[in-house]
A = this chain, B = another copy of it.
Amino acid sequence: MDAAEDRNESLRMLRDSAAAIAPRGGDLKRIRDLRFSEPGFDRAVWREICAMGWPGLRLAEDVGGSGLGMREFVALVEELGAGLVPEPLIPVAMAARLLPADHLASVLSGERIVIPAWQERPNSLDAVGGTTLSGGKVTGKKMFVPQAAGADAFLVTVQGGLALVQRDAPGVSLVLEQTQDGGNFGTLSLDGAPAEAIAGDASDALEEAALATSAYLLGAMDRAFAMTLDYMKTRQQFGRTIGSFQALQHRAVDLKIQISLTRASVEAAAATLDSVTVPALRQSAVSRAKARAAEASMLVTKQCIQLSGGIGYTDAYDVGLFLRKAMVLSNLYGSAALHRARYAAVTPEQDDE
């Protein structure tokens, strides 16, 4: 019991520390101001985040990390999702899991931002693809690189390993597209770009990023829902608070159920990643969580718009920011459909019973 209580206490402290960056119930002015800017986040805030040790939370203490587990990381990221924090914690933490010790210091300090570039086609969880590294030169094309505008270097997955490519190296071209949340995706074309070979395989780091994204979506949908409940408790129509209308009440309950299922699923998956090494079991848990988080976040945020009525359709209303975030993250690191299919493929039937 004591160990469990200790752990709960440390999770609580971690969540509290997130308030420094994403004040609970705080306004979203900073988030709004950063939208559609480049790089789409604030480098100074990123350094604060690094000062708190978050990109290295999962790393061993001897390489500058905090030695904590996925349960802690997920708890933290959920808080950041509630605040729609745009700084690239999830991709950088993924890169940090893959970089060798001698590359970590500048990344963990925030001096350099390294973003993984692993994806080569839409709707895919294949972390390798066809990009090649040969004679110190990398050639290939990577898509949907998140918050790419802020990257100093890319950790590119190649056949047989990884390659670290500086953004300003010759043969590197980066095309940016804006995303609904005000951030950006990069398409990275590598044409014999000089690169440093890094040993390793991104698959497991990708699982962690997918689960962290689920937690971010959980935090986001929960906050959007809380804001909508507040609105329902104050908005008057027909001489009544709209939250008193039973049809809206029951719809709100259905959203609450989805949020509860997502929380249970995400937390159970984090516990699995912390305790189980069998790849199929890890993938099964992550796919379950991401499939739920993706669908639930789209459902919850779209209903929050509907429950807010006309005001919900204005860009000026904050709930819309959460909908846009769900649109960006739902299909990133695998859509619900992709994760459902993977769940079916890796999960033996009897595990359902």
Number of interface residues of A (CB under 8 A): 5
Cβ distance A60 to chain B, nearest Cβ, rounded Å = 53
Instruction: Identify the closest chain B residue to A249 (Cβ).
Output: B247
- Binary contact readout A206-244 vs B (1 if CB under 8 angstroms, 0 otherwise): 000000000000000000000000000000000000000
Instruction: Identify the closest chain B residue to A250 (Cβ).
Output: B247
A245 vs B247: C-alpha distance when bound (angstroms): 8
A246 vs B250: C-alpha distance when bound (angstroms): 10
Q: Is the interface of A mostly helix, strand, loop or mixed?
A: helix
A245 vs B249: C-alpha distance when bound (angstroms): 11
A250 vs B247: C-alpha distance when bound (angstroms): 7
Q: Which 6 residue pairs of A and B lie closest in terms of their CB atoms, listed nearest first?
A: A246-B246, A246-B247, A247-B250, A247-B247, A245-B246, A247-B249
Cβ distance A237 to chain B, nearest Cβ, rounded Å = 13
Instruction: Identify the closest chain B residue to A248 (Cβ).
Output: B246
Hey, which chain B residues are within 8 Å of A247, CB to CB?
246-247, 249-250
Hey, which chain B residues are within 8 Å of A249, CB to CB?
247
Cβ distance A250 to chain B, nearest Cβ, rounded Å = 4
In the complex, chain A residues 243-264 whose Cβ is within 8 Å of any chain B Cβ = 245-247, 249-250
In the complex, chain A residues 305-334 whose Cβ is within 8 Å of any chain B Cβ = none
Hey, which chain B residues are within 8 Å of A246, CB to CB?
245-247
A247 vs B246: C-alpha distance when bound (angstroms): 5
Cβ distance A242 to chain B, nearest Cβ, rounded Å = 11
Instruction: Identify the closest chain B residue to A244 (Cβ).
Output: B246
A246 vs B245: C-alpha distance when bound (angstroms): 7
A121 vs B246: C-alpha distance when bound (angstroms): 47
6 A-B pairs with C-beta separation under 8 A: A245-B246, A246-B246, A246-B247, A247-B247, A247-B249, A247-B250
Hey, which chain B residues are within 8 Å of A250, CB to CB?
247
Cβ distance A247 to chain B, nearest Cβ, rounded Å = 4
Cβ distance A279 to chain B, nearest Cβ, rounded Å = 36
A249 vs B245: C-alpha distance when bound (angstroms): 11
- Binary contact readout A252-281 vs B (1 if CB under 8 angstroms, 0 otherwise): 000000000000000000000000000000
A249 vs B247: C-alpha distance when bound (angstroms): 8
Cβ distance A16 to chain B, nearest Cβ, rounded Å = 38
A247 vs B251: C-alpha distance when bound (angstroms): 9
A249 vs B246: C-alpha distance when bound (angstroms): 10
Cβ distance A174 to chain B, nearest Cβ, rounded Å = 40
Hey, which chain B residues are within 8 Å of A245, CB to CB?
246
Cβ distance A325 to chain B, nearest Cβ, rounded Å = 29
Most buried by B among A245, A247, A249: A247
Cβ distance A76 to chain B, nearest Cβ, rounded Å = 38
Instruction: Identify the closest chain B residue to A251 (Cβ).
Output: B247
A247 vs B253: C-alpha distance when bound (angstroms): 12
A250 vs B248: C-alpha distance when bound (angstroms): 10
A247 vs B254: C-alpha distance when bound (angstroms): 12
Instruction: Identify the closest chain B residue to A245 (Cβ).
Output: B246
A246 vs B246: C-alpha distance when bound (angstroms): 5
Cβ distance A253 to chain B, nearest Cβ, rounded Å = 10
A250 vs B249: C-alpha distance when bound (angstroms): 12
A245 vs B246: C-alpha distance when bound (angstroms): 7
Cβ distance A199 to chain B, nearest Cβ, rounded Å = 51
In the complex, chain A residues 331-353 whose Cβ is within 8 Å of any chain B Cβ = none
